[in-house]
Amino acid sequence: MNIQKIVFPMLIGVIFCACCKCKDTTVKPAEEQTDAFVTLTDVVPDAILEIRYFSTYNFVGKRIDGYMEPTALLTRQAADSLKAVSDELIQKGYRLKIYDAYRPQMAVNHFVRWSQDFADTLMKAYFYPGLDKHELFPKGYIAERSGHTRGSTVDLTLFDMKTEKEVDMGGTFDWFGVESHPDYCGTHPDTTLYPEIGKYTGDGTGLTEQQYNNRMLLRSAMMRHGFKPLDTEWWHFTLANEPFPDTYFTFPVKQLP
């Protein structure tokens, strides 16, 4: 079965993204300074923004706490590295489309509260039809800390400038399930947390070869410019040398002064 014909209930970028292992960490107060951050489009003007958590088109079905404007923020270091990715891919006919970047702790807290309200299944049919809501915490889809809150993680896809459409990745952002693994029905190396890009070995029951190659195009460009991928989400990348590896910020998402 071609995976394009499957209606995906979307995996939580937030959620898989949130599954970092917590050690002693610092949560910054609301009055913290934001001078280490930039508005992403100031650095990567070619980026297209579709900030899902500012809208109601997300797994909660409501605008998420802390998203005051439909903009994207990143640390300066992450934004500069993403600019290098954009410059490379523009030469190949693609722009970057951003779903989420910096995410304040209040947004993660919103996800946690939502996950504990088992009666609220408003968006189940669209984002997690194969899961019961009580499974989200035990299976790691929801956690109390997210790498996005450290400011150097981004969720994104590719936009084809020739067709003027998103590139077909064989699945959508924020889908819960193995279909979101970058190498789904491709190679599954198990020797490292972030496997090297492999060769497509699918049998037609999952990703097509073109869909797999599209994921690898994004993945390889991100890795070349200093980002590490997540083995459960094709859209999720964190700057390897992130400047705040143990700090979780609280200021809201809005245009910086």
**Which token pair is 220?**
């390889």
Q: What are phi and psi of 236, to 5 degrees?
A: -105, 125
CA atoms within 13 A on the CB side of 88: 16
- List 50, 179, 233, 242, catalytic entry: 233
Are 66 and 103 a contacting pair, CB within 8 Å? yes
Rg of the chain taking only CA atoms, in angstroms: 17
Active site residue 135: no
Instruction: Give dist(CA 220, CA 87) in Å, integer.
Output: 14
Q: Tell me the pairing of strands 48-49 and 94-100.
A: parallel
CA atoms within 13 A on the CB side of 147: 24
- DSSP E strand stretches across the chain: 26-27, 37-39, 48-49, 73-75, 94-100, 153-160, 165-166, 227-230, 233-239, 247-248
Active site residues: 233
